[in-house]
């Protein structure tokens, strides 16, 4: 084969095309591996929300989940691009091997989507448990505070009654305080 500049080219155009297609396929496979690894890292992060940070992690769940969905969308895009490259292989074996890879990737995306859903549910469970623990503590504190407030409430009522009786000129004594802390007005 002779080029326009009269130099000799060894091989055929099919070999060059096959090499270009194979190189592009390898590039997409590398991008797939990197993106898949990022998806798995984001899923682990998402599933761990609520364990260490408690309820504070709840604000990060939507952002991390959206980022995870973006990565999964990138994987779908890589599949479409790889399908287009697969059709450009010169040999039938090359096309079939590429289509098997496409099918494997589609199966992996389905598994990643399910894992993503499970990670979201795990984050929700962890955050709900953290909220439950906080509400339990707050409930116990409020019960204690209510008991304390009841006693404080009675003391305040008695003090108010004593002040009111002082202003009205009635002498104050502990005999004036019966079981009902507020006397009936005349």
pLDDT digits (tens, 9 = 90+) for 60-112: 888 989 999 999 999 999 999 999 999 898 889 989 999 999 999 999 999 99
Q: What is the pLDDT of residue 104?
A: 97
pLDDT at 148 over 90: no
Taking only the tens place, the pLDDT of each residue in 6-58 is: 444 444 555 677 888 889 999 999 999 999 999 999 999 888 887 776 667 77
Q: What is the pLDDT of residue 27?
A: 94
pLDDT at 113 over 50: yes
**What CA–CA distances, in Å, run from 131 to 49, 144, 177?**
12, 20, 44
Q: What is the pLDDT of residue 89?
A: 87
Contact of 87 with 64, CB cutoff 8 Å: no
DSSP states along 25-80: HHHHHHHHHHHHHHHHHHHHHHHHTTTSSGGGGGGGHHHHHHHHHHHHHHHHHHHH
Comparison of pLDDT for 170 and 75, the residue scoring more: 75
């Amino acid at each position: 084969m002779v080029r326009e500049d009269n130099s000799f080219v060894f091989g055929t155009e099919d070999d060059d095309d096959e090499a270009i297609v194979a190189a592009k396929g390898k590039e997409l496979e590398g991008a797939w591996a990197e993106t898949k690894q990022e998806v798995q890292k984001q899923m682990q992060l998402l599933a761990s929300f609520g364990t260490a940070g408690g309820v504070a992690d709840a604000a990060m769940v939507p952002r991390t989940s959206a980022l995870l969905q973006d990565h999964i969308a990138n994987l779908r895009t890589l599949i479409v691009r790889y399908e287009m490259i697969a059709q450009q292989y010169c040999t039938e074996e090359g096309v079939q091997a590429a289509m098997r890879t496409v099918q494997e990737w589609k199966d992996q995306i389905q598994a990643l989507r399910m894992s993503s859903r499970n990670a979201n549910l795990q984050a929700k469970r962890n955050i709900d448990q953290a909220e439950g623990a906080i509400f339990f503590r707050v409930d116990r504190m409020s019960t204690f505070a209510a008991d304390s407030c009841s006693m404080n409430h009675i003391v305040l009522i008695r003090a108010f009654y004593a002040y009111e009786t002082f202003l009205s000129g009635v002498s104050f004594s502990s005999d004036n305080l019966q079981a009902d802390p507020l006397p009936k007005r005349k």
